[in-house]
Amino acid sequence: MLEVVKSDVAKLNVVVAGAAGKMGQRIGALAVEGPDTALAGAFERQGHPSIGKDFGEVAGISKTGVVISDGIGEILSKNGGINVGTGAGIDVVIDFTVPESTLLNAKTCAGHGGMAMVIGTTGLTDDQVRELKSYATSIAVVFAPNMSVGVNLLLKVLQNVAATLGDDYDVEIIEAHHRLKKDAPSGTALKMASVLASALDRDLKETAVYCREGIIGQRSKKEIGIQTIRAGDIVGEHTVIFGGLGERIEITHKASSRDTFARGALRAALWLKGKPAGLYDMQDVLGLK
């Protein structure tokens, strides 16, 4: 039977979606360890073998008293509602799952006003992003393809570098992730491409090149190349190349642990406390806008 742990009034109560996944495990574990957060619930998709187990058992930490449920609905029912900012109930749901599940969870949260979300799910289509925006009229949501502080600082740097170099330098993005990642290119690579296109006053849909093979001819001046590598257990690596005549600038970010993204997600969750409904990103969280 699901049990929800009540936290100290000073702590933010976090519920983790996809709690048995690699990211869910680390987000939940760090929420338990954090001085400002508490794990108030954890859930998985229906039929998952981890349902009914203590989250700590699944995540490889000591028992937490939080049993993994088969959906957010069970948590809401058992918890008896939401008391934002009071230290009881649910303050925020953190979701790093898949687009369909994320949208279903967002719809549920929007129907229980006051429950915020942090979303790190990638691979959403344009239509799915529009649907998410509709839910963000009712709740506060931080939605970002990468929760790393370093990556989001890098986005700001890339904007400035591209604007300074202009069209005299060719732009290429190379991203690498583990063999199990399902979407390509990564959401981070696409976000980098979007930032670069905006800084260079280009339409990404017209200038993005995702694959090169055969006799393709000379590279066009406006291209933004986005290349994908999938191998082994690479957590996440992104390199942006600005290639000029006689010189090359390479800016790289390498993540060696998923904790980087988990800590960023919890930072975003804490930042959301008291924020009005709306769709935010990590640039908002870090004050980079």
> Residue 34 has what DSSP assignment?
-
What distance in Å separates the CA atoms of residue 156 and residue 192, rounded to the nearest whole number? Answer: 10
Instruction: Tell me the pLDDT band of 20, cut-offs 50, 70 and 90.
Output: very high
- pLDDT number for residue 4: 42
Minimal CA–CA distance to 220: which of 181, 172, 179, 261?
A: 172
The rounded distance, in Å, linking the Cα atoms of 268 and 224 is 30
Instruction: Give the pLDDT mean for 92-103.
Output: 96
The pLDDT assigned to 75 comes to 84
Residue 83 above 70 pLDDT? no
When pLDDT is averaged across residues 66-80 and rounded to a whole number, the result is: 82
The percent of residues in the chain predicted with pLDDT above 70, rounded, is 92
For 158-181, what is each residue's pLDDT tens digit?
Answer: 999 999 999 999 999 999 999 999
pLDDT at 58 over 90: yes
181 vs 187: CA distance, rounded Å: 11
Query: Dmax over Cα atoms in the chain, in whole Å?
Result: 66
Give residue 84's pLDDT: 39
Helix, coil or strand: residue 64: coil
Residue 73 has pLDDT above 70, yes or no: yes
Question: 272 near 116, Cβ under 8 Å?
Answer: yes
The whole-model pTM stands at 0.84
* CA–CA dist 116, 143 (Å, integer): 11
C-alpha distances (whole Å) from 18 to each of 192, 198, 208, 212 are 26, 33, 32, 36
CATH topology of domain 149-255: Dihydrodipicolinate Reductase; domain 2 (3.30.360)
Question: What percent of the chain is modeled with pLDDT above 90?
Answer: 85
110-158 pLDDT tens trace:
988 768 999 999 989 999 999 999 999 999 999 999 999 999 999 999 9
Q: What residues are labeled active site? A: 177, 181
* Domain parsing of the chain, residue ranges: 12-143+258-285, 149-255
H/E stretch holding 189 reads helix 187-199
Mean pLDDT (the chain, rounded): 91
Residues in the chain: 289
Residue 77 is predicted with a pLDDT of 72
Tens-digit pLDDT profile for residues 219-262: 999 999 999 999 999 999 999 999 999 999 999 999 999 999 99
Give me the residue label for tokens 């690579």. Answer: 189
What's the CA gap between 75 and 79, in Å, rounded? 6
User: pLDDT value at position 10?
Assistant: 76
Q: What is the pLDDT of residues 202-228, one digit of tens each?
A: 999 999 999 899 999 999 999 999 999
79 confidence band (pLDDT: 50, 70, 90): low
What residues does 141 pair with on adjacent strands?
117, 279
Of 227, 222, 127, the C-alpha closest to 177 is 227
Structure letter (DSSP) for residue 35: S
Specify whether the CB–CB gap between 145 and 120 falls below 8 A. Answer: yes
Predicted local confidence at residue 9, as pLDDT: 54
Could you please report the per-residue DSSP string of 102-163? HHHHHHHHHTSTT-EEEE------HHHHHHHHHHTTTSEEEE-S---HHHHHHHHHHHHHHH
Please give the CATH architecture assigned to the domain spanning 12-143+258-285: 3-Layer(aba) Sandwich (3.40)
CB 32 within 8 A of CB 284: no
